[in-house]
Amino acid sequence: MDLLSIQLAGDELLAQRLGDGRTLGAALDQLDSERSDLFAELLAHQDEWPLGWLQLPEGGAWVADCLAAAGELGQQCAELIVCGIGGSALGAQAVYAALDWPVASLKPLWVLDNVDPSHLAWLLESADLEQAALNVISKSGGTLETMAGFCFLLDLLEQRLAEPQQVDRRIIATTDARRGLLHKWARERGWRILPVPDDVGGRFSVLSPVGLLPLAFAGVDVGELLRGARELQELALSLRQRDNPAWQLAAIHYLLHVQGGITETVHYVYGDPLGQLGDWFRQLWAESLGKAQKLDGAPAGAALTPLIARGATDQHSLNQLFMEGPANKLYGFISCEEWPVDPQIVLPEDQEDGGLGYLSQRGFGELLAASRRGTRDALIEAGRPVYEINLPRLAAANVGAYLQLWMLATAYAGLLYVVNAFNQPGVERSKIIAKKYLAGM
């Protein structure tokens, strides 16, 4: 397909032996036969699970609302600061990082996603607050880290702008459409509200107002982002299940985990613009699949741990472990085939015929690709399971397709593990304890 190049059917991968002696290829065929319509199984849960993310690529009036809000903010402000954490921040960060090429081609988009004082100090040094708008994202309005950062920035903005109305016009609250602390506060202050859809969970929300408002402000073509996601989903669902790349990703991960001794899934990302897509995937996979109970209440407590490696840098820190350490990892090589900038290597004349001659006139993109292929082939030679996903280019449609591919794959994986991929009960306990510590200080 034009949007993504996906290699999931290599002979070496399909020949991987599982614990019962079958090849991975044979096990995929049997799984496809035993559960022949996993997407229908997913839709059977639509009354109990938030599956609205499946419709987001189709767009709607809310897209126009995001574009209008972004346009109004852009007339007043040159920069946008997002206050959000987890699913309220990672998606927009990932898309922005992938598409802000050449460097600074988009408007400045800053994200306050931590309560680390040094991170806050860096933000204040980097952003021009007097030229900035604020987008606070919290469905409930009670997210500790988000609201702490927002309140701090709101106070600074009120100190620097003379009129309260100037401040209020610069704030957009992305929150619940009807209720919650932030919704109530926004109504009282007259801040513009963009609703978080009821049927879309945070880590699946990048194509909702959660991600589209900041990206539209920055100058990303959100229509193309949605088009890529829509075309990927339409193609995936038009294929027979065995050929559906989202199903293949889920099934490969599941079978290698439960029957092949694989406990970790590594995204080996070659190309720094794609690095934050790895961070986004890490939350999506871990928070969706790391569950204590199956749907019937039986113990689960097992899921592949997602890890991120940076190519080519981590060839010199992790490859020794990957090559000769535990054979418990599945490796996904993520890259781009065409970089927007690719300077050439120029050797001094006295080195043209020396030991570095093979570098002469090579582009750095060629060097990165050769490093990726070398690491991939070495891992295959060592018997490690490997697949590849390449974006033909760094464009909004390609990134949108990548996002929707992994959201579909994660939903499929949840069904294979027989868990609810759309809740996060384990996250709440630490929040409760943290608030007790703060109350007692």
Q: In the annotation, is 316 catalytic?
A: yes
What is each CA distance from 111 to 161, 185, 384, in whole angstroms?
A: 21, 21, 37
Which candidate in 58, 130, 431, 435 is catalytic? Answer: 431
DSSP secondary structure of 307-375: EEEEETGGGGTTHHHHHHS-S-EEEEEEEESS-S--PBP---GGGTTSTTGGGTT-BHHHHHHHHHHHH
Contacts 24+ apart (CB under 8 A), 430-439: 431/144, 434/144, 435/144
Is 10 within 8 Å of 244 (Cβ atoms)?
Answer: no
- Helix (H) or strand (E) holding 399, with range, is helix 396-417
Residues in the chain: 441
Is 278 within 8 Å of 269 (Cβ atoms)?
Answer: yes
**Strand pairing category for 132-137 and 192-195:** unpaired
Angstrom distance (rounded) from CA 397 to CA 435: 41
What is each CA distance from 359 to 191, 270, 348, 351, 367, in whole angstroms?
A: 56, 19, 11, 10, 8
Q: In the annotation, is 431 catalytic?
A: yes
For residue 82, which of 104, 112, 125 has the smallest C-alpha distance?
Answer: 112
Q: In the annotation, is 183 catalytic?
A: no
Is 101 within 8 Å of 273 (Cβ atoms)?
Answer: yes
Angstrom distance (rounded) from CA 111 to CA 134: 10
Which candidate in 34, 163, 188, 316 is catalytic? Answer: 316
For residue 228, which of 91, 422, 56, 89 has the smallest C-alpha distance?
Answer: 56
Which candidate in 287, 291, 329, 388 is catalytic? Answer: 287
- Other beta carbons within 10 Å of 8: 18
Phi, psi of 5 (to 5 degrees): -105, 115
- Helix (H) or strand (E) holding 149, with range, is helix 144-160
Is 264 within 8 Å of 330 (Cβ atoms)?
Answer: yes
Angstrom distance (rounded) from CA 188 to CA 184: 6
CA dihedral 14, 5, 391, 375 (to 10 degrees): 40
Name the residue type at position 406. W
Active-site annotation, residues:
287, 316, 431
